[in-house]
Chains A and B, each alone.
Chain A
Amino acid sequence: MADLNIHIKDLHFKNPVTTASGTFGFGEEFMEFMDLNLLGGIFVKGLTIKNREGNEYPRMAETPSGMLNAVGLQNKGVDYFVNSIYPRIKHLHTEIIPNVNGGTVEDYLMVTEKLNETEGINAIELNISCPNVKEGGMAFGVSCPSAVAVTEAIRKVWKKTLIVKLSPNVTDITEIAKGVEGAGADAVSLVNTFLGMAIDAEKRKPILSTVTGGLSGPAIKPIALRMVWQVYQVVKIPIIGMGGIMNATDAIEFMLAGASAIQVGTANFIDPQVSLRIIDGIEKYLAGHHYKKAGDIVGQLMT
């Protein structure tokens, strides 16, 4: 059987399949559906320094081959995660990666410092691309100087693996990717959701309470794939790819385009066991094409 292991500095994925932040809760929601130890890693729901109630209902709209969400980083704050949630999931034999959010650089720093003290956490994902919060979030990720600034600040305090999650809502994602690489990121993850909107024509009203929200699902796959491929041409650090992955073929496409690992997001809602099927499918593909390890297909698109 092919070797599926992926190492990104302190981080060790036993296979390239991880779950995307905000689509997999804290893992516990899926325990009845699967053995979580089989996953490469779990990117848990976005954390902020304080408790956040998130946006008002309605927060969701279905769209063709996708969905919009406007959750707005509802979470009980990093302390609650560290003290109450993490102890319940730290025994899992899979990497648990917190997704770090903030309205200001200081916020990001404070969250990171709390996690610094938590044993067993080998990596954080810096979310500079959330389109659903009024302050911070995506604002950091759509300008290169601010993306660099927050990455540099966190790099100073976080010594283990630092993953920066990029926004697709930009003219040139390669510029931002190079910027955060220069600022010390160990990996980039992309993409977060696309800013979109849905309207109820009969009521003449937006469907989401926040008017706009983040688009995810297969609809965005072609754009996400293009971005991964573009970023792969310009950075040396590993890429964790995502955006509409529904099955193993999709995952393999992202890997061929340059992703060392992938995240499964919206697909979890439709088939909570989909990640296991994706792991199986990648194994079969590697075997069928006589590859020795998962890393052998990364970036191997013949153009």
Chain B
Amino acid sequence: MALNKVDINVQPKEEGYVPKSKKKTFSYIQVLPVVSFALALGIWWVIAELELIRLPTPAEVIMQLYVMATGTVAGQPLHFHVYMSLQRVLIAFVIALAVGIPLGTMMGWNRRIEKIFNPIFEIFRPIPPIAWVPLAILWMGIGEAPKIFIVWVGCFVPMVVNSFTGMRYADKLLMDASRTLGATRSQQFFNVALPAALPSIFAGVQNGLSLGWMCVLAAEMIAAREGAGFLILQGMYVRNEAMIVSGMLIIGLLGFLIAIFLRYMEKVITPWRKEELV
């Protein structure tokens, strides 16, 4: 079959190279995700029905979600628990932002500030935020304060670390370029170092938020009367596995929404970056 001799003068974009053996499995790939979901649901249903391990069937989970959404758990409606968790994370996150990023950037930009604060920071950095729970409770009882403090530690450390590396390893070439254009030291800070460090600072914000989200769950499981973490622990105590699993799905969904929000914010704050691969 003679192909039509197409007279193209525009520069053709040669197809991205795909190793030849990968290509031939293209046909049934689209079907697989559907298959795997169906498979997963099927397996879940079978295990639940046969009581191999105490696992609620998907139907029970949906029922549980409905019950919790309309009724109350430990005296509070579902959205209240979710609201409390998010509120704790938000407060801690904002404080961490206000303290962590300036400290990290200043330490990265000025050696003297680094020499002063870094040693102390290095003592506390390796301590996992959840290890602060006992001391926090000892200091602040079991109200809101200790939970917000734990989440603050979780958000604070990655923000400082990433802002520091972002500033310290900002591309020297860009600094030189700005100097040849007549930039003063402070102009270099605001016009070059800070924007160049932005992606790394933002990575710190992302890590901080996901770590903070983990910490609020831990804090709520150890000493709380409300919150998403308390929800799933409560499910454990009343031995209602449907409540645990639905609680986990809610937490997973919230985590997912936070991640989507952050990816969107990344586009807003650093619109000039290429799409990452994965």
Determine if chain A interacts with chain B: no
Q: Which residues in A have some Cβ–Cβ distance to B below 8 Å?
A: none
